[in-house]
């Protein structure tokens, strides 16, 4: 497959998947019923969820400044904030293009070399992956009995044990293959894991590492609170357990990578997670669309304003070419 075709497929496939999932969600909950859920939603909790979302983005923008200081750059918070929101908005058009745009903005207006900007974003992603894994770990501990009973009810315990042994065996074989492999795929995985480890260790070498880690925890607490408080906007979901919220949050977080900004995939991911807890599909999908819409509006508003205001904010500063 040639490079051009690969590039176009990376853009087109997530869009097609998003369109398909929108159609799928509307086949589960008719548009008229979905509109009724929006009309009857408690907008106080939606607003509160948007507020927590905004706090997480503010914290992310401020956390980024700590990564520039050891390199000798003093980046303005305003530019960091607008670069972050611009990136979120651009990611709705072309997947991962936002990260490149975010680095380019700081290079253009703050003079930080592009590759260094991109390096800070990669290190930041490592911290976020670790936090997500931590949330998954906490959820598994809190919901261990429920998860075990869920699988035991659907599978014969002996079969479950066999599947578990097979899964452990496959993981062991995979690890051995990656460790010994000299092929392109094996090396990619090896380099990814090595980069993840290096990125994680680089965080502890920072001058303000504890401030960075505190902001990282705060960002993800705000994400969970955003998800949790918005669930109160749908009356049918009042009383949903914290276990369902955490599993729904994890599922929804992974769905963002499937399509541009999680369009179509976000509500379906929540519906799939909530169905484990026998929560009806209509309020689950409606909640997914409500939280996705509210957070998307926040990004469109601040992202759009950022793209317009960036050159005005930096009008007295000479623009620095990326390749200079």
The confidence band for 53, taking pLDDT boundaries of 50, 70 and 90, is: very high
Query: What is the pLDDT averaged over residues 130-156?
Result: 78
Q: List, as one string, the DSSP characters of 197-234.
A: HHHHHHHTTSTTHHHHHHHHHHHHHHHHHHHHHHHTTS
The confidence band for 21, taking pLDDT boundaries of 50, 70 and 90, is: confident
Q: What is the pLDDT of residues 247-283, one digit of tens each?
A: 999 999 999 888 888 899 999 999 999 998 889 999 9
Instruction: Please tell me the distance from the alpha carbon of residue 99 to that of residue 300, in angstroms, as a whole number.
Output: 16
* Average pLDDT score, the chain: 85
* The pLDDT value given to residue 324: 42
Higher pLDDT, 235 or 19: 235
Instruction: Using alpha carbons, list the distances in angstroms from residue 125 to 120, 122, 131, 276.
Output: 9, 5, 10, 29
Tokens at residue 281, please? 């599909």
Tokens at residue 153, please? 């009810």
Higher pLDDT, 71 or 40: 40
Higher pLDDT, 139 or 10: 139
The confidence band for 154, taking pLDDT boundaries of 50, 70 and 90, is: low
Measuring CA to CA, which residue among 251, 238, 248 is closest to residue 277? 248
Euclidean distance between the first and final Cα of the chain, in Å? 34
* The pLDDT value given to residue 192: 63
Q: What is the pLDDT of residues 277-321, one digit of tens each?
A: 889 999 999 999 999 999 999 999 999 999 999 999 998 876 555
Instruction: Please tell me the distance from the alpha carbon of residue 135 to that of residue 245, in angstroms, as a whole number.
Output: 12
Query: What is the pLDDT averaged over residues 51-55?
Result: 97
The confidence band for 11, taking pLDDT boundaries of 50, 70 and 90, is: low
Q: Give percent above pLDDT 70 in the chain.
A: 84
Where is average pLDDT lowest: 85-89, 102-106, 118-122, 246-250? 118-122
H or E element, residue 177 = helix 157-180
Instruction: Please tell me the distance from the alpha carbon of residue 169 to that of residue 69, in angstroms, as a whole number.
Output: 45
Residue 195 clears pLDDT 60, i.e. is over it: no
Instruction: Using alpha carbons, list the distances in angstroms from residue 2 to 7, 13, 97.
Output: 9, 16, 20
Where is average pLDDT lowest: 113-122, 201-210, 217-226? 201-210
DSSP 237: G
Q: Burial level of 142, CB count in 10 A (0-12/13-18/19+)?
A: middle
The confidence band for 60, taking pLDDT boundaries of 50, 70 and 90, is: very high
């Amino acid at each position: 497959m040639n490079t051009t075709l690969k590039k176009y497929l990376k853009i087109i496939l997530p869009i097609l998947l998003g369109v398909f999932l929108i159609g799928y969600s509307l086949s589960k909950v008719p548009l008229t019923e979905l509109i009724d859920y929006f009309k009857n939603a408690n907008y106080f909790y939606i607003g509160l969820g948007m507020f927590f979302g905004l706090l997480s983005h503010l914290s992310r923008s401020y956390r980024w400044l700590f990564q520039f200081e050891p390199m000798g750059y003093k980046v303005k918070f305003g530019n960091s904030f607008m670069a972050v929101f611009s990136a979120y908005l651009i990611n709705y058009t072309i997947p991962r293009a936002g990260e490149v745009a975010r680095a380019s903005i700081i290079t253009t207006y703050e003079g930080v070399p592009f590759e260094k900007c991109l390096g800070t974003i990669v290190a930041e992603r490592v911290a976020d992956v670790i936090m997500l894994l931590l949330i998954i770990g906490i959820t598994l501990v809190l919901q261990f009995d429920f998860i075990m009973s869920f699988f035991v009810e659907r599978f014969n315990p002996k079969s479950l044990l066999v599947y578990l042994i097979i899964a452990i065996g496959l993981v062991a074989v995979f690890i051995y293959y990656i460790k010994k492999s000299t092929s392109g795929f094996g090396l990619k995985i090896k380099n990814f894991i090595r980069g993840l480890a290096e990125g994680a260790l680089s965080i502890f070498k920072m001058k303000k590492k504890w401030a960075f880690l505190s902001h990282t925890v705060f960002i993800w607490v705000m994400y969970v609170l955003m998800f949790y408080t918005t669930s109160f906007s749908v009356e049918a979901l009042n009383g949903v357990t914290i276990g369902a919220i955490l599993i729904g949050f994890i599922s929804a977080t992974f769905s963002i990578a499937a399509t541009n900004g999680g369009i179509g995939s976000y509500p379906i991911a929540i519906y799939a997670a909530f169905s484990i807890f026998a929560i009806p599909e209509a309020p689950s999908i409606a909640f997914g669309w409500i939280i996705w819409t509210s957070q998307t509006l926040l990004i469109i508003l601040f992202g759009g304003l950022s793209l317009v205001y960036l050159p005005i904010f930096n009008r007295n500063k000479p623009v620095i070419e990326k390749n200079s």
